[in-house]
A and B are shown apart, each in its own frame.
Chain A
């Protein structure tokens, strides 16, 4: 087979070029190819003929690597970068399209801002609807990029229309706290609505759900980067134009809302097209911050256990704890989505478990105190929302902790941990939707 070495090396290099196929997979495929050639030459073919037949039997490499990508979406989830027709279809929704949708979002928010006369006036309808001015364009960007059929377009649009009607027809009281809660929770609900076009309608696929989690994490990183860059730009502009007497606040009024809205779509486009660059960044950030959070959480748990809660807690503290649990959950989810699922338990999994368990202990203390207070003073919309979110997160993290203990002891598969999280995702969506739709009438739009 000596004379074949250059050809095999070339084939190997070509296979290795696919981002979904890693070094070990290439070894495996090459071993297969060599076996096949050996068998064929034994049967009487020349090595060259054997090579050709073996390569042919291996199948169209684009199809094969797409299959690898489908299985190892964790390794790349870059169905867009894949070669073949599918890849071209996506390539069509390039930057022009992304910027068109971004511009549409930027203009819409500007029109709404002028109508609201923000920031001179601060009408509550503006804050309440702000995500409705932006996220439909993100959904449409995905729906177009994924070439959804008309039925899927309708299913994408329907939640937006329904929610827009619901939140604007409710007769909120003046200074209504349920209205504030709607403004806070609607973006979350709509973010889950965007998942539908993002997944091309395949919302039952657990792998695609995990892809959406990854997308969310990467999108967040890009958005923060864009915001930082935008901040530097605005700061410098202010510094340069100030002496000329230009009122920079007026400029910012125009630039900031449009920039923030447009960046939502642009960040999504960047995640879609530059996945390979950032891919190395998000896992690194998770690796870096999981141990730090674990240390912080253990210390806080010890401090609280020693000093007791005292009078320290109030509604704000529950909100802080909600934020903390969200961060811990994000670290868990992100660490999970970036992990090779077939790897055996490692130190990172243990540290993650320490972080989760300390967060749980802390949260149980706060929640106990909070429920006691509700017992004394009764429910308000804010308390209900805070405690409800807390419970939703608590159940998730208890399940996650329980499964990771089993995983670390070799009694469960990593796959089950992943499945728990992806199965739980709709619960978050439903809770946020409940706060938007059910809570206001429940509390008389107070």
Chain B
């Protein structure tokens, strides 16, 4: 399924924050997780992830640390902050409101609201 690029862009921040809320991570792993979560529907341009991560860092939503895992190359890990969690909660409220509204005008798509309720 093709997802409109505006929608991909809009969902990027909450997705990344939610993944980092689960556990700290690094760029490539975040991207793999997004692919797995969306079963390949959300196709990001890989390179775009990094400016996004850096923006989240500037806003204080994540902090970063360079680490060298025993088997591999030096890489930058991203960790969510309290402000990041607040931003995520805020985003969740907005998405729930949007999905609820869509759900109301699209009769017969009961699954949407159920999914939103979980969030």
Contacts and interface: CB of A to CB of B under 8 A. Distances in A.
Interface in B66-105: 66, 73-76, 83
B59 to A, nearest CB: 6
A71 B51 contact: yes
Contact of A413 (B50, B54, B60, B66): B60
Given A24-B76, A70-B51, A71-B54, A32 B60 contact: no
A3 interface: no
Interface string A385-424: 0000000000000000000000000000101000000000
A28 B75 contact: yes
B38 interface: no
B27 interface: yes
A31 B75 contact: yes
Contact of A36 (B45, B46, B50): B46
B50 A29 contact: yes
A63 interface: yes
B58 interface: yes
A14 to B, nearest CB: 12
Interface stretch (A53-61, A180-188, A321-329, A373-381): A53-61
A67 B47 contact: yes
B27 A67 contact: no
A28 B27 contact: yes
A97 interface: no
The bracket for how many chain A residues form the interface is 20 to 34
A342 B58 contact: yes
Given A24-B76, A28-B50, A29-B50, A64 B58 contact: no
B7 interface: no
A31 B47 contact: no
B45 A64 contact: yes
Nearest to A342: B57
Interface string B26-38: 1110011000000
A71 B58 contact: yes
Given A32-B28, A34-B73, A415-B59, 18 more contacts: A27-B74, A27-B75, A29-B50, A31-B73, A32-B31, A32-B46, A32-B50, A36-B46, A59-B46, A59-B47, A60-B45, A63-B45, A64-B47, A67-B51, A71-B51, A71-B52, A71-B58, A415-B60
Interface of B: 26-28, 31-32, 45-48, 50-52, 54-55, 57-60, 64, 66, 73-76, 83
Contact of B76 (A28, A58, A68): A28
Contacts of B54: 25, 68, 71-72, 342
A217 interface: no
Interface of A: 24-25, 27-29, 31-32, 34-36, 39, 57-61, 63-64, 67-68, 70-72, 341-342, 413, 415
B84 to A, nearest CB: 11
A91 to B, nearest CB: 23
B55 A71 contact: yes
Nearest to A413: B60
Contacts of B58: 71, 341-342, 415
27 contacts: A24-B66, A24-B76, A25-B50, A27-B74, A28-B50, A29-B47, A29-B50, A31-B73, A31-B75, A32-B28, A36-B46, A57-B46, A61-B47, A63-B47, A64-B45, A64-B47, A67-B47, A67-B48, A68-B50, A70-B51, A341-B58, A342-B57, A342-B58, A342-B64, A413-B59, A413-B60, A415-B58
Given A35-B28, A71-B58, A58 B47 contact: yes
